[in-house]
Structure 1
Amino acid sequence: MQVILIQDVDSLGQASELVRVKNGYARNYLIPQKFAVEANPSNLKQMEERLKVKAKKEAAMMAQIKQVINALQDGAIKIGAKSGTSGKIFGSVTPLQIARAVKDQKGYEIDRKRISIVDEVKELGTYKASIDFGGGNVAEMEFEVVGE
């Protein structure tokens, strides 16, 4: 029996995928648990429509991600930190500070968990951070640590 998966099922497939399973597995487990629906013409047509809508949303999201990546790569962000006379800062710069600086200076809100700092930041100067937007979209951005 062919079924259309409504949600991801381990060792079977991803959502919106057409799979062939045994009749009993489909009737007794997948369909009652709302993991799948029978692959009849109307359900196949609905699946195609959902995939078209999903593709449009992903295209719009990719365009927005590209816009954010271009804005982040256009000029360094300045982050203030307290420092001593030798240029060493007290503490270090964290992804949370970078996320706040991006929001204040560029106007984009980025989750701090997506930001990773390439080098350890212990002195004033220019450093690099990478931001993972998912789906293979990674932006390298520069930030400058300046004394307060």
Structure 2
Amino acid sequence: MKLILTQQVSGLGEPGDVIEVRNGYGRNYLVPRGFAIRWTRGAEKEIDSIKKARSAREIATVEHAKEVADQLRGLRVTLRTRTGSGGRLFGAVTAADIATAVRAANGPDLDRRRIEIGNPIKTVGTHRVSVRLHSEVSAPLDITVAEA
């Protein structure tokens, strides 16, 4: 099945890339979740607009990505949220919450789709997430979750 990616998918490609995947993976996972659209001649014209939008918000060079990674390494990010008994959160910390907390800590402006949370963050404490800044550069980020 031939698809056009609308978002970055680890191991497949960047937005605007035309990829070939198995029918079930495309039909049951990529298309319903909005990660890709079916390739047609009409959709081929959308590739330019997807790539323009990507270049507007993307970190262009590896050097720039390494600079942002250095900023993230020295950053202390604290996220205050409501908790229940035993330090459990009401819900979980999302990538959008982390991006907002990084901005509040005078860090770089991050795209929430580039923040990878391994296990859901549902407890108070320090947690490590990964930020994909470039296809070659990924930076770890420590988040401290505290009671509000």
Give the TM-score normalised by structure 2.
Answer: 0.56
The amino acid across from 1:61 in the alignment is T
Q: Would you identify which runs of 4 or more consecutive aligned residues in structure 1 move more than 4 Å? A: none
**Structure 2 residue 78 is the aligned partner of structure 1 residue 78:** yes
Map of 2:132 onto structure 1: 132
| Superposition deviation, residue 126 in structure 1 | 0.6
1:119 aligns to 2:119 (yes or no): yes
- In structure 2, the residue corresponding to 1:143 is in which secondary structure? strand
1:52-89 alpha-carbon deviations (Å, 9 max, x no partner): xxxxxxxx833322111011111431111100131111
In the other structure, the counterpart of 1:145 is 145
* Structure 1 partner of 2:66: 66
CA distance in 2: counterparts of 1:105 and 1:64, whole angstroms: 20
Q: Which stretches in structure 1 are left out of the alignment for 5+ residues?
A: 1-7, 11-59
Over the matched positions of the two proteins, sequence identity in percent amounts to 30
What letter corresponds to residue 62 of structure 1 in structure 2? V
1:128 touches 1:140 (CA, 8 Å); kept in 2? yes
Flag structure 2 segments of 5+ consecutive residues without an equivalent. 1-16, 20-59
Aligned-partner SS, 2:86: coil
| Alpha-carbon offset, residue 135 of structure 1 | 2.3
Q: Shift of residue 106 of structure 1?
A: 2.9
CA distance in 1, matches of 2:108, 2:66: 13
| Separation of aligned partners in 1, 2:90 and 2:137 | 33
Structure 2 counterparts to residues 1-148 of structure 1, below 5 A:
61-148=61-148
Task: Please identify, of 75-84 and 94-103, the stretch whose mean Cα deviation from structure 2 is larger.
Answer: 75-84
Question: What is the distance in 2 between the residues matched to 1:9 and 1:73?
Answer: 34
- What displacement does 1:9 show? 9.8
Structure 2 counterpart SS, 1:126: strand
Amino acid at match of 1:138: S
Name the amino acid aligned to 1:81. Answer: T
CA apart distance, 1:133: 1.5
In the comparison of the two structures, how many residue pairs are matched? 92
Q: Distance in 2 between matches of 1:82 and 1:96?
A: 16
In 2, the alpha carbon distance for the partners of 1:139 and 1:129 equals: 9
Residues 86/136 of structure 1: CA separation in 2 closer, same or farther (3 Å cut): same
- Structure 1 CA distance for aligned equivalents of residues 18 and 80 of structure 2: 48
